Structure 1
Amino acid sequence: MFSQLQNRFKKIFKTIKGQGKISESNISDAVREIRIALLESDVNFKVVSRFIDRVKEKSLGNKVFDSVTPGQQFVKLVLDELIDFLKSDNSEINLNIKEKSVVVLSGLQGAGKTTTAVKIAGFLKREFNKEALLVGLDLQRPAAAEQLEILSNDNNLNCYTEKKSKNPLEVLKNAENYANDNNFDVLILDTAGRLHIDNNLIDELNQIISQSNPSEVIYVADGMTGQDAINSSSSFSKSCNITGCIITKMDSDAGGGVALSIKETTGIPIKFITFGEKISHIESFNPDRIARRILGLGDIVGLVEEASKSFNTDSFSDIQSKISNNTFDLNDFKNQINQMGNLENIGSMMKMIPGMKKMPNMSTGKKQLNATKAIVDSMTDFERKNSSIINGSRRKRIASGSGTSIQAVNKLLKQFNQMKVLMKKISDNKSKFKFPFIK
């Protein structure tokens, strides 16, 4: 996410920090490089001009560079201006407190509305303990209802679809009755998209908005389409009462330009950004944290939030108890490996730490993790519970079953026993080590 912009800003800041004295000349050089970096990342040219003018005006003020480290002062100035460009007064999702909330998702075909609808439902369940009903109102795209049903079932969410109906307003009315009967907190309406904006699309959307009386009408913008996403969001906001925007596919390099442009050109607040395919790959849009990430300054808060999604706190409490009682075995070890999940996600989390932009080859680490899982899976349940009984013949069988070597099995068992001793020492210490996301 933002890797192209991060790399460019890193070089610019490195150059300006290396200057013993800040002058109008090297500030002009830095500002020119920032302009090029933003334009190459598909930021709207008018937005670039306004941003550069503000940075240049403030950076050439006498009071800006009175500090001991003027280069760092320049970085802070760029950060503050970027935050100001991104922030909005109402960037949080608006939910009704006393009555059912309705969220309408709109946008062009292919932007990822259906996937985003599922991610929002998961977010509301995880963060607000709200039960959402996903409603399939896209009656134009083939298999749209099936896609919503599959994604909902895979993630233990509720959905309402009518595959034979051709009237979205009728489906909406039936879905509202179903939601009332089953006490859902939120309705998320997945509306139809088109390959381009047309009158039929806008008319249908406005009728749905009028009938559902939503608390949010959100435009879903494809972060990979650059200027097209900005133009289409502007057209939608002029035709409908759009209250917010979600930028999808932010794991692409093009996403940075859309994020910087869309709020400034349309005035629509950005509510969420999404990335990846998992239901947890969505986050609230926080201008300060996004600006820090764009400039390569790290996002520790984002790191903690991502980690809290990846690790099961109840499991950690259970593990602490087993370590204290000296009953931690290879079954528990296997569960912890499974919790680690995809090492690519670990890599993306590590990039939120300042100074950790370059990561080792994650594919190599993933192979090692898979080999470890294969070794543990090749053991019997009794062996996992009693690792001390694993003698030479058992190790040979485990190596053969896992497609590894006896040396790899020996190494794993040695590391497991060393880890048990270390974890026991930590557990016995009154000032136990705690992750920031473990309560």
Structure 2
Amino acid sequence: MRSRLTARILARWIKRRLPTSLFGRSLLIIILPVALMQVAVTFVFFDAHWNTVTSRLSEGLAGDIAWAVESYQDDPSPAAFARLSTRAEESLSLSIALQPGRTLPERRRHALFAVLDRSIERALSERLDAPFWFDTTRYPAYVDIRVQVDEGVLRILAPRDRAYATQGHIFLLWMIVATILLTAIAILFIRNQVRAIERLADAADAFGRGADEVAFKPHGAREVRKAAHAFLAMKSRIQRHIDQRTALLASVSHDLRTPLTRLKLELALAEPNSRTAEMKRDLAEMEHMIDEYLAFARGEGGEAVETVQLRTLIDEVSEGAVRAGAQVRVAADPGLTAEVRPSALKRALSNLVMNAAVHGEHVEVAARHRPAGGVEIVVDDDGPGIPPDRYEEAFKAFSRLDEARNQNEKGVGLGLAIARDVARGHGGDVELGPSPLGGLRAVVRLPG
């Protein structure tokens, strides 16, 4: 049980540290096997070839050094040492010098690859009975080996290629270069494939926000092009549906307003009395309801995206709330801009600000940059507010909360629904929460 829990925790830990992007994961799928293969090949090379060759060379060098030490100990006279030194230089490429009265150094510098030192140390330990010391780092082309004898120290300089295989670093260099080259090629090809998917995602996101990327064309792998063609077909169907709906709404708007205009004209010509006044109020309410229904059904309507000054837009919306009798305070940087559909956003903000003005006496509207990117517009009021558990219900179309803010005689429960629909059409959202003023806070978040 404990081992299963440990495995689960380890799997979670690994999963959290894996790349989350398609580019990162694709690169990992290609690079990881290549890296493992390179490590395996390197290990096999060093274990089966380089290490074996180095051991054989070290053993041969250690044998020659043991012969030289024994020959010197058999006859330590200067003449015999001279003959020994000459023979070692000519036959074995060993440079031997006697350092009378010296002792072995106490410290030794270690090579970058510890296997070099281990191989030579093992070979010398097997062949020499006398104390010894060696250094493989002091000279680029030689190995410095010193053996303690009665008269002092025999210092022997041996060519490096006699101690170990010197071509191992070339093999490692080729392995590193090959890995870098394969990685660069993999990055180039994967980036091209991922870029096609990113462009498709950007085109889908732009279409969702109402912007049309005319330059988008399917490219990339066959599957990506197939998805892109499917997206373009879907986009064409949706656009055709929007165009048909817009034409239908224009026709319905005209058909409904014509009889309303005739009724208003007849009432205007009729003698004023209590019944005509009530009928005029009914007609005004009916006209208001039709306007809200059409605004909700119309949605974005095909309006083009523009860069607008948010402060100017908020000031225009706030004028209506001021005329309704509310005290409105606006806090927004005059230079703050956003790419939006002006009329749609103005309609959404007007619904929120007028809703706050109807239910509260003080309204505050603020616009600011978001730390995560984009902008947000905050509308606060000091009205009765809405219970937190009914926030989402307030966004439902035609929802009129009996005990809260959507309860008004002229409304039909579409104000918040229209505001959220507009915000989401821009790629953002609208959220409700408690206001510092004591009422309701509505936050419109828009992407950058």
Shorter-normalised TM-score: what interval? under 0.3
User: TM (normalized to structure 2)?
Assistant: 0.18
- Larger proportion of strand: 2
Q: TM-score if structure 1 supplies the norm length?
A: 0.19
> Which structure ranks higher in relative contact order (CA pairs < 8 Å, sequence separation ≥ 6)?
1
